[in-house]
Amino acid sequence: MAINYNAKDEVDGGHGSSLVVGSHAGPGNAIGGSGPKSRRPDNTAFKQQRLPAWQPILTAGTVLPAFFIVGLIFIPIGIGVFVTSNNIREFEIDYTGTDEKDPCNKCLLRNDTKPCICNISFTLEQPFEGYVFMYYGLSNFYQNHRRYVKSRDDSQLNGDLNSLENPSKECEPYLKYQDKKIAPCGAIANSMFNDTLELFQKNESSLIPVHLHKKGIAWWTDKNVKFRNPPGGNLSEVFKDTTKPINWPKPVYELDEDEENNGFINEDFIVWMRTAALPTFRKLYRLIEKKGGLHPTLPVGEYLLKITYNYPVHSFDGRKRMILSTISWMGGKNPFLGIAYIAVGSICFLLGVVLLVIHHKYGNRNNSADIPN
What is the tens place of the pLDDT at every residue in 230-239? Answer: 998 789 999 9
The arithmetic mean of pLDDT across residues 245-257, rounded, is 94
| Confidence label for 365 from pLDDT (cuts 50, 70 and 90) | low
Is 90 exceeded by the pLDDT of residue 78? yes
Mean pLDDT for the chain overall: 88
**pLDDT tens per residue, range 146-203:** 999 999 999 999 999 999 999 999 999 999 998 899 999 999 999 999 999 999 999 8
Positive or negative: CA dihedral 27, 28, 32, 36: positive
Torsion-angle region of 31 (φ positive above 0: left; ψ -120 to 50: alpha; else: beta):
beta
Q: How far apart are CA 267 and CA 213, in angstroms?
A: 11
Map 117-148 to HEC letters.
EEEEEEEECCCECCCEEEEEEEECCCCCCHHH
Between 36 and 195, the higher pLDDT residue: 195
Q: Is the pLDDT of residue 277 over 70?
A: yes
The lowest-confidence range among 183-187, 284-288, 300-304, 369-373 is 369-373
Return d(Cα 197, Cα 83) in angstroms, integer. Answer: 31
pLDDT at 125 > cutoff 70: yes
Parallel/antiparallel/unpaired status of strands 242-243 and 180-182 = parallel
d(CA 65, CA 352): 8
Q: How far apart, in whole angstroms, are the C-alpha atoms of residue 263 and residue 189?
A: 12
Is this model's pTM higher than 0.85 or not? no
pLDDT at 169: 94
Cis peptide before 279 (omega within 30 of 0): no
Render pLDDT for 259-276 as a digit per residue (tens, 0 to 9).
Answer: 999 999 999 999 999 999
Q: What is the predicted pLDDT for the residue at 367?
A: 57
Residue 318: pLDDT band (50, 70, 90) is very high
Query: What pLDDT sits at residue 150?
Result: 96
Q: Where are the domains of the chain?
A: 1-33, 59-88+335-360, 89-326
Report the distance separating Cα 332 and Cα 66, nearest Å.
32
Strands of the chain (E only): list them: 2-3, 19-20, 90-94, 116-124, 132-139, 176-177, 180-182, 196-203, 206-209, 242-243, 281-288, 301-309, 319-325
Rounded percentage of the chain residues whose pLDDT exceeds 90: 71
Give the pLDDT confidence score for residue 34 in this predicted structure. Answer: 58
Where helices occur in 194-320 by DSSP H, the ranges are 220-221, 235-238, 267-273
